[in-house]
Amino acid sequence: MSIVVENLTKYYGEQAAVHDVSFEVKKGEIVGFLGPNGAGKSTTMKIITGYVPSTKGNVKVCGKNVTVDSLDTRRLIGYLPEHNPLYLDMYVKEYLQFVGNLYKVKNVKERVAEMIKAVGLEVEQNKKIGMLSKGYRQRVGLAQAIIHDPEVLILDEPTSGLDPNQLVEIRDLIKKIGKEKTVMLSTHTMQEVEAICDRVVIINKGEIVADGKTSELSQTDEMVTVYAEFEGHVSKNLLGKIKGVRKVEKVQDGWLIEGPKTANLRKDVAQFAQENKLLVLTLRVEEKRLEEVFKSLTKA
């Protein structure tokens, strides 16, 4: 297991930021840490990276406790903090060499050249960081996070503030890096999770409210919705009489019919159509959109 977080609690004075949070990240996974602003994402990440102590609970990275073996674990982790604190007056190469030296990276000049290539910074490599666009600054941030070849990458809102083109480029870069590393990234948008992550851990008000494969999360609900289109007139009332149906809603050309997951709703709707001599034009189970799952899990 690359990251194990056990019963983590953090208070800033009286203010509870994270409460009894537990989750694990397997080697090679790209996990999205999703939650609204103030949910406790940055705090959890700062504790995993050893920058902030926890009030209670344990964190292990690659089997080592981040508090007890803090020096070892820092070598195992690459971290891109939320506000990517770069030295704007330094040149790209100079800064990366500086970080490489902090980590005592061997053949630092060659390693810097390798990193510049890996994150696509060749064209901008001779500039001062302050001259770079936000997208290129994020590339510098990613390069500094992987320069010591860590096993685990912790990226705090790596795409916030990027324009749509930069967003696509940085996401692609993270996916590329994620082929070789374990990655945990925080975000407050579901699109980001759908674009990059295998799994998602959702946090709200300091507590974990969901944890699962991105593809499975949409099926956690107890209800299932069938979308049906019929030729000819059908009334809402009549549809409501189908066995087990809880809710019927008219949408453009068809109907959304909701019932319990345990029932075979699609079959029951088909049978209903046959009994009422209705021609079925479309009949499918609707996947609940992840965005809606997220909204329902994190509403106040």
Q: Which positions touch ligand ADP (CB under 6 A)? A: 12, 15, 17, 35, 37-43
Output 84 or 97, the one with its CB closest to ligand ADP: 84
Shortest Å distance, C-beta 9 to ligand ADP: 12
Measured in residues, the chain has a length of 300
96 to each of 17, 86, 111, 128, 228, how far by Cα in Å? 33, 10, 9, 12, 58
Output 39 or 278, the one with its CB closest to ligand ADP: 39
CB 154 within 8 A of CB 116: no
Output 12 or 27, the one with its CB closest to ligand ADP: 12
In angstroms, rounded to a whole number, what is the distance separating the alpha carbons of residues 281 and 277?
Answer: 13
Output 15 or 237, the one with its CB closest to ligand ADP: 15
Phi, psi of 290 (to 5 degrees): -55, -35
Shortest Å distance, C-beta 257 to ligand ADP: 37
Output 132 or 162, the one with its CB closest to ligand ADP: 162
DSSP state of 91: B
Buried b (16+ CB within 10 A) or exposed e, 23-59: bebeeebbbbbbbbeebbbbbbbbbbbbeeebeebeb
Shortest Å distance, C-beta 89 to ligand ADP: 27
Shortest Å distance, C-beta 207 to ligand ADP: 12
In angstroms, rounded to a whole number, what is the distance separating the alpha carbons of residues 276 and 254?
Answer: 16
Cβ neighbours of residue 232 closer than 8 Å, sequence gap 6 or more: 278, 279
Output 10 or 137, the one with its CB closest to ligand ADP: 10
Q: What residues pair up with 6 in beta bridges, in sequence order?
A: 58
What's the sign of the alpha-carbon dihedral 128, 133, 139, 142?
Answer: positive
Shortest Å distance, C-beta 83 to ligand ADP: 11
Shortest Å distance, C-beta 109 to ligand ADP: 36
